[in-house]
Amino acid sequence: MQVLIDYRKDLPIIENVKYLLGINYFSYNMPEVYELNELINIVKTLKEKNNVVIVNLEKIMYDKDLALLLPVLKVFEEINVDYITYSDLGVYQLIKDENISLKVIYHASTLITNLCDVKLMLEENDNIILGKEISFQELKKIDYGINKNVLIDAFGKFPIFYSRRHLLSTYLEYRKNDLNPKDYDYSLVEEFRSEDYPIVESDGTIVYEHSYYALASELKDLEHIECVYLSSNLIDLDDYSKVVNLYLSNEATDENLSQIVPIYKGKLTEKTILIKGGIN
C-alpha cells in the first residue's frame, strides 16, 4: 500500500513515498506551511530520496489569490513538483488557461463521495482523493465502477467545517475576551453531546472531528485504492510515525491503530440513504 504523508520538518524523511507539502497563504488544513524559498529546498531534498512531491493548494481562492498564485505555479513547474492538490476550480482553470504543465489532484472531501462525481472528476484531473464522508457500501460501489487507481483520505482528524473568516477572533472580541486565539487549544462542545471538536484559527477557521478517522481493515477489499492519505493534524509526531509505519507495513488494522490513538469509523459503517438515482 502506497502512502501520502505530510512533510514535517521534525520527522526523518522516508524514501520512496508520496509527500504532501504546505505553502504559506495557499494551502488549507496543513499542520506546517513554508515560504516558497523554503519549499524549493524541501522539494529538492525529497526528490533526492526518490519521493513523489505533492503541494497542497486547497485554500478557497479569491480572484486576488489566483493572481498571486500564478507565478508560484510557474516555479512549481520549474522545480518539477509532481502534483498539486486543489479544491477550488479556479486553480484548475488557471493551470489550463496558462498552459502550465502541472499534474492536478482534485481533493474536495465532502464532494467526491459517489460514483458519478468520481467518474466526472477523473476525466478532468490526473487523479482524485476520495472523501471520507462515505459509507463502505458506497465506497465498494465506486471501487467496482472505476478502472483507474485513486487516492483516499484514510487516517486523521479531518475538518468538518472551514471558513476563510476568523471566527474565533470575532467570537472572543464579541465576548470582550482578550485571549489570543492562537495561544491556546480551543474546542467546541455541543449542548447535548460530550465530544470535543477542536477549533483552530490560522488563515481562516477550521473545526475538526472529535477523534481520528481510520480506514484500515477495509482496504483489503478495495481494488482501486492505490494510495492512502494519512493526516498529521492534531496528533503527536511519535504517534504519527507509528501510524505511518503500520500502513507502510500493511499492518494497519482497527485494532492496531486503536492502540495508538482513539479511532472512529465515520460513515463507513452506516447504510447509504440518499444516492444519485434514487433512495435505497
Binning the chain into helix, strand and coil, the percentages to the nearest 5 are 30, 25, 45
pLDDT at residue 275 in the model: 52
Q: What is the pLDDT of residues 97-119, one digit of tens each?
A: 999 999 999 998 777 778 999 99
Q: What is the pLDDT of residues 1-24, one digit of tens each?
A: 899 999 999 999 999 999 999 999
Is pLDDT of 278 > 80?
Answer: no
pLDDT at residue 5 in the model: 98
Whether the predicted model's global pTM rises above the 0.85 cut:
yes
Euclidean distance between CA atoms 267 and 253, whole angstroms? 17
Q: What is the pLDDT of residues 50-80, one digit of tens each?
A: 999 999 999 999 999 999 999 999 999 999 9
Euclidean distance between CA atoms 274 and 267, whole angstroms? 13
Q: Provide CB contacts within 8 A for 270, sequence distance 6+.
A: 135
Is pLDDT of 260 > 60?
Answer: yes
Going across the sheet that includes 186-188, the strands are: 159-163, 204-208, 197-202, 186-188
